[in-house]
Amino acid sequence: MLLVIDVGNTNIVLGVFQGEELLDHWRLSTERLRTTDEYGVLIRNLFYLNGVNADAIDAIIISSVVPPVMPTLERMCQRYFGLVPLVIGPGVKTGMDIKYDNPREVGADRIVNAVGAYHKYGGPVIIIDFGTATTFCAVDKKGNYLGGAICPGIGISTEALVQRTAKLPRIEIKRTPRVICRNTVESMQAGVFYGFVGQVDGLISRIREELGAKAKVVATGGLAVVIAPATKSIDVVEPLLTLEGLRVIYERNR
């Protein structure tokens, strides 16, 4: 079985594959101070509680945008699974030509998402990841990664609004029935929600113009299921796209 690990700024998402089948997945908070043993015990306990045989794991692949966590996770893989993980980075075969000015600058999660989306839907395809940052990536019909745009994420934007104002409260991010709202909480919810919906549709429109083609738009990330239904441009939501992309890349590097 294959253990895939996606390390984001806010969460670590784990998945276990048996062949092409995703058996189960979990989400942990990304804690830079958590130790090798804490990660190892936590992950093996999750496996135990969900009926996954940890001893059947025979390969591990990791994608990370948080470099300080990597030494801890690599030691955890060796100590608790007896395996050296494949880490997404230079030298790993992705099957995708990166057209960035400096390919090393592209976040591993963006490449993995692009590989997963192109593998499943072909190209051209546009991928939106609603994570700590909201990223937009474009892949052409030949499978070339062209680049994209990076925006502040919904969570950090909302938190900045609260922290930099004296009287505005923290809110749940949700769709309101109208934009002209009559209380502070709903006014904030409307501004955040429909503001990001407009951002998504506006950027996708411009990306499609530059691609010169009708590209499929795939959304992933924690808030994709919240935002996508209100947009005009998102075609499909794939909450576990990164895990699928990691599996595909592992198969290409066996």
Q: Which residues are annotated as a binding site for ATP?
A: 6-13, 132
**And the tokens for 116?**
């997963």
Active site residue 58: no
Beta strand pairing call for 59-64 and 2-7: parallel
Residue 142 zone, left/alpha/beta (φ > 0; ψ -120 to 50; rest): alpha
43 and 67 in contact (C-beta within 8 Å)? no
Residue 167 zone, left/alpha/beta (φ > 0; ψ -120 to 50; rest): alpha
38 and 160 in contact (C-beta within 8 Å)? no
Q: What are the C-alpha distances in Å from 48 to residues 44, 53, 91, 152?
A: 6, 7, 34, 37
* Binding site residue list: 6-13, 100, 107-110, 129, 132, 184
Quick one: 84 exposed, middle or buried, by C-beta within 10 A (0-12, 13-18, 19+)? exposed
Catalytic one of 37, 55, 101, 109: 109
176 and 189 in contact (C-beta within 8 Å)? yes
H or E segment and range at residue 57: none
Active site residue ranges: 109
